[in-house]
Structure 1
Amino acid sequence: MLIAATCFAVGGSLRGAGTELAEAAGRPGGVLLLIAALLANAAGLVLSMLSWRVLVVDGGSTARPSDTARIFFIGVISKFVPGRIWGVLAHIQLGKAVGIAPERMIAAFGLGLVIGMTTGAAAGLLVAPAVFGAGAWVFAPLVLLAAAAVARPGWVGRLVAWTMRLARRPDGAAEGSPRALRLSIGWACASWAVSGLHLWAIVVLLGAPPLLSLPVCVGGFALATVAGSLAFVLPDGWGARELVLLAPLGAVMPLSAATAAVIASRLVCVLSEVAATGAALAWARAAGPLPTPRPALQEGAA
């Protein structure tokens, strides 16, 4: 049922984007740049999966990489259905099938969400010089704060643990080890850097200056994605992400070209997400049957 609802939502999100992408593909070098954009976003998704996986296996889980990839990417396509609850439920049920405790899956989901948003907001600071010019120095304290979060990542776990206590959920797995948190933050930062390159390929194709637009695309895409995640009542942040992305792109290209870029970006993201999910499902199938289902151990149980 989740897959059917997702397919319906994906079809709606792509409506109207085909014309912009077809026009972009017709430009010189357009096809190669669009293929590069698809590959860049797919690579960013893989890095994001690695950021989440280190949190899942932090408790000593022996789940196969193919199984965790399957769980992650099914969660990815569930975002096309309004509300985050579907992704959480999918993670819990699929985790149980490979012996991962629900508390571990909830904790990894919460930690991954906090890490993704904080690192995305930090990456979004890259747009400051292009948008604010000489006044961008006022954001320097935020850069130092982001660096401090990497040096002392424990606050991330404590925040999620506090949230789980408010929700009356066991929080023994919520804080995570410092090593796992640092690895997750590192993979998340790499994911933002790589996934933003898909937008850069698109705006260069549409005539934006390459050097000036690179930090704007990486930072702008990260910031817009975080904004779309906060608009959780919208399928994949539809509308909110595009609106936020228009502002930084408007600093390096005409508004009409920026509008075409954000629409093409949406289509590239959806296609790469669906393709990556299909590849993950095929990988899990090729790896053979899932291990024999067994009761998921509670965190902290002997």
Structure 2
Amino acid sequence: MNPMMTTIRSGARRGVIEFKQSFFTAQDLLGLLIPNTILIVVMIFMRGSTVGTTGFSLGTMSLSSVLGMTVAFSGMMTVMQHLTIEREDGTLLRAKAIPNGMLGYLVGKVVVVSALSVVGLLMILIPGLFLFDGLAFDTVGSWLTFIWVLVLGLIATMPIGAVLGSMFSNPRNSGLMSLPVMGLVAISGIFVPLTQMPDWLQPIGQIFPIYWLGLGMRSALLPDELVVVEIGQSWRHLETVGVLGAWALAGVLLAPIVLRRMARRESGSTLAERREKALQRTT
């Protein structure tokens, strides 16, 4: 069998194993349950508010947007956290030491992060279908839109997470990225339509994937009459594909270069140095 295909199959199996293990690890389970539960509770309190003059529930609109935000968080933050943690514990160094090890490692990350992303979406979507009125998620077109936005969103955001993860050798420092990411959420029309924000903020929000993932999910789950609160009164599917596709292409070109450079810097001595610093912080 082709060595490359063998590596890809091995990496995929590794990803499936890691995904299954997530359901037997308290930290991973809490990481799925607590944020999603908080989001649902917040949106329940928003049900009484309406979107502009449409009379449509702001909670229902936000539910759709939050699904897009969840994809972005999974792609960027989860990949970044996995990468920084596994640099410190030596997983990356072991992968580097075997033929095509980094390829297998990356395939495994793609599998596990994609699977966890789907689980996270379902944890919000399934209760949302019962708790929020007005969702239009009952046609083949809605499901197809949901799927292509999800797939393209992961392709666009996971390389970003890999690049960000390569910047931090200490998992505790990677938490600093949460602040700018939350800032992007605030200006990406997730909880308030972008059209209700200052004119100067709207172009900035549209640069990044979070806005387009939220828009794509809204187009899949909301009735067509809600398009009136969007920019240009359009779901802008072609623009969504274009922007997410551009981020995906940039990430696919840049991430392998950055990861190769990071892998070259990994050695037994650098790993020992990081572990010594970690021990000093805990004593």
TM-score by length of 2: 0.33
